[in-house]
Chains A and B, each alone.
Chain A
């Protein structure tokens, strides 16, 4: 089912002012009116268009999951907890330098660098933190630039604004590293390519990150500023459960905050998100519960499988099967997120029939409502 595309006014009425905006950045950068700033999408001037890309590609306007899945995988939306999967692996980079700087096993940095080296892509939309640790979207054109983007700040970042800034006539073959809401927005673009913009078919690789929630770039950044000398921070980390910590590393050591302290800065919108594992990506990557220094990797598409094969052949990654116990845990966590989000959505809409943005098959709804 497709729903009428509306304009920025409705984007504000239905998404932003309702607290559903994920700050993915899909609405920004394609027009002069919408600008992300300190955790908000700002409308600089009144836009009179009744149909806009801002509304069309927002992951929190109506989304027909079956149609999106059909576009990405050629099949309706999978009822599996992890979405469409080919293989679930456990990997870590063979490059100790990358592991040092990156999160967990350094798989994202390694795979993006590899894709670039192999010519699958020639540039990548990534997230880079500034000196004061504000995350910003960034178009990386070299392996060095990719390495600069290693590591996470755990804050929401409107990365897709940078995608929208890619000029229409440029020879980029793009990779994108994104969180689930952003991967969903990219998938919406793939389904109905934006007019007069960079050709969405030139996105050659989508690496999705696992995400349970993101932190507010305004509130949490304020918290960090008050508690840390940010330019000195070299890396942030949320070690896999059961650590229950948020760590900040500086040259002089580690400073930890309890996860509860940090979670108060969670973007409220994350409660309405069903997707923990970036289900529409080519490859999804996260941590491995109980095992530090490794990544869980879900291969979803042929593109993803080919890239992983290259990594295997070129010995860029140590690759292992994800232990059954971990896989079960992962599935359990993913399902739990879906169930909770559905409950939250219904609570917010006040109507079991009104799932806000979410277009799910009845059978999946029934399964998740149990």
Chain B
């Protein structure tokens, strides 16, 4: 793919939605971007960071989204166009700041954008959430792209709008736009030259801040009435009018086309979602007696339009509304063309079968022999598997019905079979520590179960530090496990304050987790989770530590995916079929039934376990758990490894 900053107006590139957003920012002359990784938003920042130096812009991974939003605001106040990007959970984190920011305005600063990427269907999120209501709630002009071109164009346009209105503007994208690709026609890039200055005379706060922002919204609404991001395709009088936005627009078009209803069903696609372009909407409401709302997650447009309809003059025609409220469109999860087809056919009394009823059975039969059934799991070689194994055993040995709490990211696997179900909760960034902190204060109520709070390394910096500090201050009795794989692994290995590198690839100070903990006076133990015995022993000892306040165990081992990119497998691992006794062993398939590393499979034919050589990463963990010693690991000595070992500190 050509570089994202190619200066070729008119050229068409196949861009991922997130790249299109990045390109739009470049075309708008962005100077500053800050973000915290979170699927599906994570690619926007690296796309800009990759060209930051030659475009003369600044890009940073911030420690969390609130900080990202704040530092971007700082840049805006300095006169530089700035953007903060995050997923829905991140916007929640930043919201306290945003709520006040909108009422203060930008004071003549550079355009400021919040790009929020939602994850309908929560494929990669702890929750499913529609963040559009934040715009309505906190008075932010909001746009949502319906395709890739719009993802770019809206981003660019919002910078102008932000400066014109002197307020934060918001772009909401969804996974299906962010993470898929489409054609994007480029516009020109501006000059690189940027000069930052904080204008002292522009300081001051509006007399009535809330009133001021409402005035801005009124202005935004006027502009939205005429915006080309809102468009209608269909007959002048339609049997059914679909009002849609975002990725659902694509599904709506597809559904109408498949049903061959182009001359009966009209589609009003809205791109400017808040404030609602009321005149435009009212004008289209007259097109049909039946209105169907198609949008993902919350009935945001649906409710806004229904509110609008309720305020129409008494003698107005009142259409029938269909959507999430009527049950015609699912109230949660990702939509697809079928969801729209179902709604349309139900409303219009049609029948449509996209495929024959047995289709899924036929597919299942066809692929059965070739597709291995796998559980949601951790990667082969993942150090978290070893950590959870040691925790599982330590909790059982301890015998006081202890349990773990997990957090976001890879360690949320602790809730399932890959983490042996040791984790019982996982909510939001930092909650693995703070929820454990709360449980650890229940001694006075007779609570005596050991709690192993959990936090990943990146999350430790993000929200774990205040949680630990709180626990230290209030003397909570629990153990905080920091699962330190030296990576923000779940979202794609973005650097964090412990990795010694910035988003733009510059070396940085490595901020030590244990030094932070020790500075709070906390006992810190550092374990290599692959040393199962020692780790289990340490956990048992730490859980019995009766001194006041929390303890910290850092489970330290590099993310396997990062290690494997750098070097080959450390071990040749294989099952000695002489030693493996199969089902007559008495081990009850510990390796494939309990450990369940995807690299180790049960060979039905041989009645023994075997290594799946394609998948096995050669970590050798399974050799430690086989009671029969039938899994053999032999160190792989390669030239690279020998060289690596000679370099001190590597």
Residues of A within 8 A of B585 (CB): 196
In Å, the complex CA distance between A30 and B594 comes to: 17
14 contacts between A and B (CB under 8 A): A30-B586, A31-B586, A32-B587, A32-B625, A32-B627, A37-B397, A42-B396, A44-B397, A45-B392, A45-B420, A48-B593, A53-B586, A196-B581, A196-B584
Min C-beta distance of A154 to chain B, whole Å: 23
Contact indicator B590/A45 (Cβ below 8 Å): yes
Leading 9 A-B pairs by shortest Cβ distance: A32-B627, A37-B397, A32-B590, A31-B586, A47-B588, A45-B594, A49-B588, A44-B396, A42-B396
Task: Check if A261 is an interface residue, CB within 8 A of chain B.
Answer: no
Task: Check if A141 is an interface residue, CB within 8 A of chain B.
Answer: no
Within 369-411 of B, Cβ neighbours of A (below 8 Å) are at 392-393, 396-397, 399
Contact indicator A42/B590 (Cβ below 8 Å): no
In Å, the complex CA distance between A260 and B392 comes to: 39
Task: Check if A52 is an interface residue, CB within 8 A of chain B.
Answer: yes
Residues of A within 8 A of B625 (CB): 32
Closest B residue to A30 using CB positions = B586
> How many A-B contacts are there with CB distance less than 8 Å?
42
Given the interface pairs A42-B396, A44-B392, A44-B396, the reply to whether A49 lies near B590 with Cβ below 8 Å is no
Min C-beta distance of B421 to chain A, whole Å: 10
Residues of B within 8 A of A43 (CB): 396
Task: Check if A170 is an interface residue, CB within 8 A of chain B.
Answer: no
Contact indicator B397/A31 (Cβ below 8 Å): no
Min C-beta distance of A199 to chain B, whole Å: 16
Contact of B587 among A31, A37, A195 (CB under 8 A): A31
Within 160-206 of A, Cβ neighbours of B (below 8 Å) are at 195-196
In Å, the complex CA distance between A40 and B590 comes to: 22
Min C-beta distance of B403 to chain A, whole Å: 15
Closest A residue to B393 using CB positions = A44
In Å, the complex CA distance between A32 and B590 comes to: 8
Contact indicator B392/A49 (Cβ below 8 Å): no
In Å, the complex CA distance between A52 and B587 comes to: 10
Closest A residue to B579 using CB positions = A168
In Å, the complex CA distance between A196 and B627 comes to: 12
Contact of B586 among A35, A37, A38, A52 (CB under 8 A): A52
Given pairs A31-B588, A42-B399, A196-B584, 4 additional interface contacts (CB within 8 A): A30-B586, A45-B594, A48-B593, A52-B586
Contact of A40 among B399, B581, B584 (CB under 8 A): B399
Residues of B within 8 A of A45 (CB): 392, 420, 590, 594
Size band of the interface chain B makes with A:
10 to 19
Size band of the interface chain A makes with B:
10 to 19
Contact indicator B396/A195 (Cβ below 8 Å): no
Residues of A within 8 A of B396 (CB): 42-44
Task: Check if A33 is an interface residue, CB within 8 A of chain B.
Answer: yes
In Å, the complex CA distance between A32 and B397 comes to: 13
Contact indicator B392/A196 (Cβ below 8 Å): no
Closest A residue to B594 using CB positions = A45
Contact indicator B584/A31 (Cβ below 8 Å): no
In Å, the complex CA distance between A196 and B396 comes to: 27
Residues of B within 8 A of A47 (CB): 588
Contact indicator B399/A48 (Cβ below 8 Å): no
Min C-beta distance of B287 to chain A, whole Å: 62
For B268-292 the 0/1 string (1 means CB < 8 A from A) is 0000000000000000000000000
Residues of A within 8 A of B581 (CB): 196
In Å, the complex CA distance between A38 and B587 comes to: 23
Residues of B within 8 A of A44 (CB): 392-393, 396-397
Contact indicator B397/A42 (Cβ below 8 Å): yes
Residues of B within 8 A of A195 (CB): 584
Min C-beta distance of A278 to chain B, whole Å: 27
In Å, the complex CA distance between A44 and B397 comes to: 7
In Å, the complex CA distance between A195 and B628 comes to: 13
In Å, the complex CA distance between A195 and B393 comes to: 27
Residues of B within 8 A of A52 (CB): 586
Min C-beta distance of A27 to chain B, whole Å: 11
Given the interface pairs A31-B586, A49-B586, the reply to whether A37 lies near B594 with Cβ below 8 Å is no
For B609-632 the 0/1 string (1 means CB < 8 A from A) is 000000000000000010100000
Min C-beta distance of A194 to chain B, whole Å: 9
In Å, the complex CA distance between A251 and B246 comes to: 83
In Å, the complex CA distance between A189 and B594 comes to: 28
Min C-beta distance of B623 to chain A, whole Å: 13
Min C-beta distance of A43 to chain B, whole Å: 7
Residues of B within 8 A of A31 (CB): 586-588, 627
Closest A residue to B420 using CB positions = A45
In Å, the complex CA distance between A267 and B590 comes to: 32
Given the interface pairs A31-B627, A44-B393, A45-B594, the reply to whether A196 lies near B586 with Cβ below 8 Å is yes
In Å, the complex CA distance between A31 and B397 comes to: 16
Min C-beta distance of A53 to chain B, whole Å: 6
In Å, the complex CA distance between A31 and B627 comes to: 7
Residues of B within 8 A of A30 (CB): 586
Within 247-293 of A, Cβ neighbours of B (below 8 Å) are at none
Within 276-314 of A, Cβ neighbours of B (below 8 Å) are at none
In Å, the complex CA distance between A135 and B396 comes to: 21
Residues of B within 8 A of A42 (CB): 396-397, 399
In Å, the complex CA distance between A44 and B593 comes to: 13
For B111-143 the 0/1 string (1 means CB < 8 A from A) is 000000000000000000000000000000000
Within 1-45 of A, Cβ neighbours of B (below 8 Å) are at 30-33, 35, 37-38, 40, 42-45
Residues of B within 8 A of A37 (CB): 397, 399
Closest B residue to A29 using CB positions = B627
